[in-house]
Amino acid sequence: MTTLKALRNTTPRQTINTLIVVASMIGAIVFPWVVDPALVGVGFIALIYAMRNFTWNIAGGLVGLLSLAHVAGFGIGAFTVAILTWGHGVNVWLAILVGMLLSGLVGIVVSSIMSRFGVNAFFFALGTAALSLAVSGIAASWSLTGEVDGLQNHTSGEGLLHLQWFLDPKPLYYVALILLVVIVCFTMWLTSRTRFGRSLPFIREDPDMAASMGIDVVRNQALTMGLSMALTAIPGSLIAQYTSFVSYESVLTLEIGILMMVGAIIGGSSTLAGPIVAGIGIAALEEGLRAFDVTSSSVSSITQIIYAAIVILILRLGADGIVPMWNALLDRLFPSREHHEVEPELESNDKEPAHA
């Protein structure tokens, strides 16, 4: 009876979006087998972009922390694998966990300091940008990180244990896909099933009001920032294994941090799907430009111009991103007969405030 009632209460938008999600998952699974092998690498990069955007959005979308420190988390993940696995033979999975811990610790410390001083969104972004530039500068001048030359992978192990395949990119593609799905499912569980997760939208909307309801705003912001940056280390680790090369220029440029933020905002930071859609779209756009023999530097410049144009368009339309615009279009084309509707967003569905 409960299932039938839930089905009756499902809106046309929810039905259409569910079908799109199912079709997208099927498409992602069969993708490596129906395209040219060279495009499998493009699919992997698309998953990395989607994962970067999504993990940034845990801090940016859930509690409104406009952070540019996540590129440091991305770079820490990559360099930890390079130093521990390539340089000292530590198992890559253990190295990934170490990178997540280090990155998460940085996120907690940074957020705690910023929150204690009560900085606004602008100075939070400025402070985290300074942190990322400092980490990049350290990597460029420290012998442990290869200085400006970076680090090269010379390990010969192959297979899932080593997270490395030399001739076939499909296994690493599927590892990235599985990890992305796990991160999304974990975030859905966190935001809907835990008191901590349900408190985050209150913090994002009005920190002072959240504090008056008994929510520990500083602690929850710090934990969210730490979790977000820890998860951002995962795509950094994967890209290191994929390219077998890491340098400050490849994983620690401020441009990467800006693209994470802009990608999530373009897709719709209030939704689960938005950052993922934007990440895949950005990768497809870059590959499309390369298909016309556009140089790498030009691809970067053209892509940034397109980002800016999309952001301006979204602001001009007064929308919250591509996915919210899509949802609004569906609601207009297929108006629901039911007044009660559950939004598939990073919002709390509880009427009662969560004390955490």
Pair of tokens at residue 283: 């990768």
Query: Helix 70-81 crosses helix 92-117 at what angle (to 10 degrees)?
Result: 160
pLDDT digits (tens, 9 = 90+) for 206-234: 988 999 999 999 999 999 999 999 999 99
In three-state form (DSSP H/G/I as H, E/B as E, the rest C), the secondary structure along 72-92 is: HHHHHHHHHHHHHHHHHCCCH
- Paired with 164 in beta bridges are 159
At residue 132, φ and ψ (nearest 5 deg) are -65, -40
User: Using CA atoms, how far apart are residues 197 and 195, in angstroms rounded to an integer?
Assistant: 5
Query: Helix 70-81 crosses helix 217-243 at what angle (to 10 degrees)?
Result: 40
Across the range 320-347, mean pLDDT stands at 73
Pair of tokens at residue 204: 């994002």
Instruction: Indicate the helix (H) or strand (E) that contains 335.
Output: none
Q: Looking at the predicted structure, is the pLDDT value of residue 75 above 50? A: yes
Judge residue 250's burial from the number of C-beta atoms within 10 Å of its C-beta, 0-12 exposed, 13-18 middle, 19 or more buried. Answer: middle
Question: Would you call 173 helix, strand, or coil by DSSP?
Answer: helix
Q: Sorting pLDDT into bands at 50, 70 and 90, what band is 296?
A: low
Q: Which residue, 206, 205, 231, is CA-closest to 55?
A: 231
Q: Which residue, 193, 175, 308, is CA-closest to 234?
A: 175
Instruction: Indicate the helix (H) or strand (E) that contains 135.
Output: helix 121-141
Q: Sorting pLDDT into bands at 50, 70 and 90, what band is 130?
A: very high
Across the range 351-355, mean pLDDT stands at 51
User: Using CA atoms, how far apart are residues 289 and 38, in angstroms rounded to an integer?
Assistant: 15
User: Using CA atoms, how far apart are residues 299 and 288, in angstroms rounded to an integer?
Assistant: 9
Q: Sorting pLDDT into bands at 50, 70 and 90, what band is 188?
A: very high
Q: Return the amino acid letter for 340.
A: H
Indicate the DSSP class of residue 164: B
Question: What is the pLDDT, as a whole number, of residue 342?
Answer: 46
Q: Which residue, 238, 241, 276, is CA-closest to 260?
A: 276
Q: Kindly report the CA angle at 180 between 177 and 181, in degrees rounded to 5?
A: 85
Mean pLDDT rounded to a whole number for the chain: 88
User: Using CA atoms, how far apart are residues 52 and 259, in angstroms rounded to an integer?
Assistant: 9
User: Using CA atoms, how far apart are residues 14 and 27, in angstroms rounded to an integer?
Assistant: 20
Question: What is the pLDDT, as a whole number, of residue 289?
Answer: 81
CA distances, 259 to each of 47, 212, 296, 307 (Å)? 14, 35, 16, 9
User: Using CA atoms, how far apart are residues 322 and 329, in angstroms rounded to an integer?
Assistant: 11
Alpha carbons within 13 angstroms on the beta-carbon side of residue 138 total 11
User: Using CA atoms, how far apart are residues 32 and 190, in angstroms rounded to an integer?
Assistant: 31
- Alpha carbon distance, N-terminus to C-terminus of the chain: 34
Question: Would you call 70 helix, strand, or coil by DSSP?
Answer: helix
The reported pTM is 0.89
Helices and strands: H and E segment counts in the chain: 16, 2
Across the range 332-351, mean pLDDT stands at 58
Q: Which residues have a Cβ under 8 Å from the Cβ of 286 and sit 6 or more positions away?
A: 299, 303
